[in-house]
């Protein structure tokens, strides 16, 4: 029996967008429902685990799509550009889809924290693979550092309302060869 409606998907995508920009606590279920065009009954029918389940699934969705986006971008440099463009286009709201929720909830819900961590682990592996493919030595040691750089730059870019941090990281990576 395939799904008959797209309500579940709509709500999930709306939630992912809002969590990304505002974090977990700042995003109310009512807001998700209003923007997603669904009533409460539907939410708890599709997500009996409530807000927490919604967050975990939204994080998984975001992580997968984000990974896909980066893969499409090809190079690290291309990825930084994509991130910068998106940030700018959204008025510096859409940064890392995981970081905001991660910090917000890290010490509260282990399920959500775990979902965030597995997203990071996946991206780290992607970076390591990309480096290996380019015959960079010590790819596995370098990957977490590069991921940290990018995450840090995304964070800073949001508070600074400028893509400069991303460009600085980009320039640095280029200088490494």
DSSP structural state of residue 144: H
Q: Kindly tell me which of 94 and 104 has the beta carbon lying closer to DNA.
A: 104
Residue 136 burial by CB count (10 A; 0-12/13-18/19+): exposed, middle or buried? middle
Q: Count residues near its own copies (CB under 8 A).
A: 47
9 makes contact with DNA (CB under 7 A)? no
Question: Using the rule CB under 7 A, is 22 a contact of DNA?
Answer: no
Q: Name every residue whose Cβ is closer than 8 Å to that of residue 153 and which is 6 or more positions away in sequence.
A: 80, 165, 166, 168, 169
* Closest distance of CB 31 from DNA, Å: 6
Taking the C-alpha atoms of residue 170 and residue 148, their distance in angstroms, rounded to an integer, is 13
* Contact status, residue 63 vs residue 97, Cβ threshold 8 Å: yes
Is residue 107 within the footprint of DNA (CB under 7 A)? no
Rounded-to-10 torsion of CA 24, 29, 35, 40: 150
Residue 40 contacts which entry, DNA, its own copies, none (Cβ below 5-8 A, type-dependent)? DNA
Binding of its own copies at residue 129 (CB under 8 A)? no
Closest CA to 19 of 101, 129, 125: 101
Give min distance, CB of 7 to its own copies, in A: 27
Stretch that binds its own copies, among 36-44, 78-86, 87-95, 129-137 (CB under 8 A): 87-95
Using CB distances below 5 to 8 A depending on partner kind, what does residue 51 bind out of DNA, its own copies, none? Answer: DNA
Binding site for DNA (CB under 7 A): 1, 3-5, 7-8, 27-31, 38-42, 44-46, 50-52
């Amino acid at each position: 029996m395939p799904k008959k409606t797209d309500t579940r998907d709509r709500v999930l995508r709306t939630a992912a967008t809002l969590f990304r920009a505002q974090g977990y606590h700042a995003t109310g279920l009512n807001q998700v429902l209003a923007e997603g065009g669904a009533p409460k009954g539907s939410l708890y029918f599709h997500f009996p685990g409530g807000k927490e389940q919604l967050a975990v699934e939204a994080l998984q969705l975001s992580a997968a799509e984000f990974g896909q986006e980066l893969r499409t971008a090809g190079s690290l440099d291309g990825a930084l550009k994509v991130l910068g463009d998106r940030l700018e286009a959204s008025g510096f709201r859409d940064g890392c889809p995981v970081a905001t929720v991660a910090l917000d909830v890290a010490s509260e819900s282990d399920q959500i924290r775990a979902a965030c961590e597995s997203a990071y682990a996946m991206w780290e592996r992607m970076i390591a693979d990309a480096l290996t493919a380019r015959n960079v030595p010590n790819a596995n040691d370098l990957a977490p550092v590069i991921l940290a750089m990018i995450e840090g730059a995304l964070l800073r870019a949001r508070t600074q309302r400028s893509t400069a941090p991303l460009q600085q990281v980009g320039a640095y990576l280029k200088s490494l060869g």
